[in-house]
Structure 1
Amino acid sequence: MAAKIDHIVFDIGKVLIHYDPHIPFSRIIPDEEERNWFFHNVCTHDWNLEQDRGREWPEAEALLIAQYPEREEQIRAFRKHWHEMVPHAYEESVAIMEGLIAQGRDVTMLTNFAADTFVDARKLFPFLDKPRGVTVSGEIRLIKPDVAIYEKHARDFGLEPSATIFIDDNADNVKGAQAAGWHSVQFIDPATLRKDLDGFGIEV
């Protein structure tokens, strides 16, 4: 028998909205080999993750510019052109979320996101205001898959972990939710998500 689910929690990046830093940087650094080197050595995933954890952009930029002064313009371009990295929403995923809200389901969001870029994202994608609320990692200085961020989200929004399902594209974040006592599924595509939710007795 499927667990009774009272709360549905969505990740945002790569679940509801597309994210790809290569979009602006294919123009800023046209050479693919050089661009890949830049993302592996300068504006790395781990460097960007610290902004999701709450580090301010001026500090983040200064850190890299001290190491790579010749790359200053490219380093500053990461935040300057961030809006180009989120070019569109995943309409089918958004439709699933909005459908659940329309059914009267309790829907919230839990995201690794820098605080200031999330302000921008809300302007670009008004549907982000439709769920009951959101936990933004950069605002609380906790980050997935740390169990503490799931526990804080559950406390803040009054969620019963065993009656909660979390949807995230990242396998480690899915495991983090499970470690916090939540049900969780990895987002592959909207069709798979519909099947996964149906398995928990949630029709969309």
Structure 2
Amino acid sequence: MIKNVIFDIGNVLLDFCWKDHIARFGFQGEKADRIAQAMMLGPIWPKLDLGLESDEDILEQFVAHTPELEQEIRLVFSDLSTIVREYEGSVDWIESLKARGYHTYYLSNYGERIRREASKELSFLSHMDGGIMSYTVHLAKPDPAIYQTLLDRYGLKAEECVFLDDTVRNVEAAQALGIAGIVVTSQEQAKKELETLL
């Protein structure tokens, strides 16, 4: 029986709206695409989530990787407060589950700086029973250790949990530990699939 609902954050409870963030600084079209490939969609960005290197070091890695976009990268990285946007229905979704007796947790690959600078977009956190952001434990999905850390920290049984994430490999990693999983494509779809398990 499911007792605990574990949420990823990005593209589940909030929009990782990097396209809008880049556009905010005046970059469009091919230039915006190149910036995204150098930053959010490139191999260096996940290091922000692990919390093992300083933001300054990671910025210099972005620049070294794509030096022809140094000015643009530094500008886009100068303020990350608009890179995420909370979905309108997230708090209501969590509160409706809690009202029915379910516990809610978060498990997210998330960087400390984005949490700090875009904290206003994380109002749902105060409505949840707890959770883990990757930077706090220096582990990231789909590493099984981060799932086990969450289970251990809150005394959860895998078979009593369901995990919602927008990335297939992250859901598969949870399922390998005995946690039910839902691949999220939208909140509406996720709510419907979740109801079939509860």
TM-score (norm. length: structure 2): 0.89
Name the SS of the counterpart of 1:185 in structure 2: strand
Deviates further, 75-84 or 130-139: 75-84
Name the SS of the counterpart of 2:164 in structure 1: strand
How many corresponding residue pairs? 197
Query: What fraction of aligned residue pairs are identical, expressed as a percent?
Result: 27
Structure 1 position 159 matched with structure 2 position 130: no
Instruction: Supply the distance in 2 between the matched residues of 1:91 and 1:43 (Cα, whole angstroms).
Output: 24
Structure 1 residue runs of 5 or longer lacking an equivalent are: none
1:50 to 26, 47, 51: 47
Instruction: Supply the distance in 1 between the matched residues of 2:74 and 2:118 (Cα, whole angstroms).
Output: 19
Deviations 1:141-192 (A, max 9, x none): 1001111111111111111011110011111111111122211101122222
2:75 to 57, 74, 77: 77
Name the SS of the counterpart of 1:91 in structure 2: coil
TM-score (norm. length: structure 1): 0.86
Structure 2 vs 1, CA of residues 42 and 126 (structure 1 numbering), >3 Å: closer, same or farther? closer
Quote the residue 1:95 is aligned against: 92
Structure 2 vs 1, CA of residues 175 and 63 (structure 1 numbering), >3 Å: closer, same or farther? same
- CA drift of 1:118 comes to 1.6
Instruction: Supply the distance in 2 between the matched residues of 1:42 and 1:79 (Cα, whole angstroms).
Output: 9
CA contact (8 A) 1:57 1:79 kept: no
CA contact (8 A) 2:163 2:171 kept: yes
Structure 2 residue runs of 5 or longer lacking an equivalent are: none
- CA drift of 1:24 comes to 2.7
- CA drift of 1:59 comes to 0.7
- CA drift of 1:29 comes to 5.3
CA contact (8 A) 1:6 1:106 kept: yes
Structure 2 vs 1, CA of residues 79 and 101 (structure 1 numbering), >3 Å: closer, same or farther? farther
Deviates further, 40-49 or 105-114: 40-49
Q: CA RMSD in A?
A: 2.0
Instruction: Supply the distance in 1 between the matched residues of 2:185 and 2:66 (Cα, whole angstroms).
Output: 37
